[in-house]
Structure 1
């Protein structure tokens, strides 16, 4: 019997274009997305560096490009958040303990909130008992400590907790800890099909 559900954010609720950021950065002059930039992104997602350090780190790889243009390119990944998904979540919130666990950064969350508006964002966050962003908790999936952080803070029982994510590595980490899981296939499945999955 499922008592709690932990959701990922991007491509579960908020649609993403995962190639858009690098595509837009290349238009600004970036030659390639390097392991150094990947590490920089990781540091930003776990809150080890701030936005200015992150943007300046990218700027080193793009000659004569201002930080505002880089931020705009960085946010190109974010698409729309369909209202029907929020409505579905609101229905669920009366039936289960809900949590959000997202690998993300301050820039993306600021942009999301600006894009959908404070009222929509407040309604979304209000569906959850607690919202966890990687940059706030300094932990990132698939690190099992990210999951344990949520488990321990809320006394969750993994075998009575469903974890929904679009990334296989995150699902695998959750499975090892005993969670019930749904590896949502982006473009083929929608979070609103949850009841059809016979997981609850």
Structure 2
């Protein structure tokens, strides 16, 4: 194993729309219904695929005028969905960087809002390359975005660890020859990095 590819959201960055919408809804059940049926994961995926926020928000607002304010907040207050860095994971990233391990990232993220994350999190500058779905107009687990990562970064999947919190994304990476790990916790990742020889044995996230 030579290099590591990280997913960002759910692995290094804590992103959850509930951080924002708990401020806008007094009823938790209504909030969950809104996030599953209005500003849904399927709708958010369109943004990850590069659809402009302004267009997506306008169309959704017309379909659900009752929630116009909440829909608009998905764009205007998007930064409030960021809960911060996942400290243990960022610490491991720093240790890998200190050992000279080539680091890359592959993320499903809108190109518009990724600019906010770049400014907020300095550790995003530690990667040699970050492939963003919103810029590529294709997202995980589509094999095409993995192929672009391999070609652009000149990676050998057989010597590359791929870390993601979504099993489907890891399965796609494995099918293309990567060594894939489903992220569950920084502690679990630390053990896997040590087992693969990236870090010294016995290293603990946060320790």
- TM-score class, shorter-chain normalisation, is 0.7 to 0.9
Mapped partners of 2:15, 2:86: distance in 1:
12
**Alignment partner for residue 80 of structure 1, among 67, 80, 84?**
84
1:47-62 alignment, distance < 5 Å: 47=50, 49-60=51-62, 61-62=64-65
For 1:49-85, what per-residue CA distance to the aligned partner results, in whole angstroms no more than 9, with x for missing partners?
2110122233232426346533356555421115564
**Residue aligning to 1:89:** 93
**Residue aligning to 2:43:** 40
The alpha carbon displacement at 1:87 in A equals 4.5
**Residue aligning to 1:99:** 104
Scaled by the length of structure 1, what TM-score is found?
0.76
Gaps of at least 5 residues in structure 1 are none
The alpha carbon displacement at 1:162 in A equals 0.5
Mapped partners of 2:195, 2:56: distance in 1:
40
Mapped partners of 1:103, 1:21: distance in 2:
20
Mapped partners of 2:60, 2:80: distance in 1:
15
1:40-189 alignment, distance < 5 Å: 40-47=43-50, 49-60=51-62, 61-63=64-66, 65-66=68-69, 68-71=72-75, 74-82=78-86, 85-93=89-97, 94-113=99-118, 116=120, 120-121=121-122, 124-186=123-185, 189=187
**Residue aligning to 2:203:** none
SS in 1 for 2:68: coil
**Residue aligning to 1:195:** 193
The alpha carbon displacement at 1:4 in A equals 1.4
C-alpha contact 1:99 1:131 (8 A) present in aligned 2: yes
C-alpha contact 1:75 1:107 (8 A) present in aligned 2: no
Mapped partners of 1:43, 1:154: distance in 2:
26
The alpha carbon displacement at 1:46 in A equals 1.3
The alpha carbon displacement at 1:128 in A equals 1.1
The alpha carbon displacement at 1:35 in A equals 8.6
Mapped partners of 1:72, 1:36: distance in 2:
14
Mapped partners of 2:194, 2:11: distance in 1:
16
The alpha carbon displacement at 1:196 in A equals 3.5
C-alpha contact 2:7 2:105 (8 A) present in aligned 1: yes
Q: Return closer, same or farther for 1:62/1:76 CA change in 2, 3 Å cut-off.
A: farther
Aligned-residue RMSD, C-alpha? 3.2
Aligned pairs, number? 191
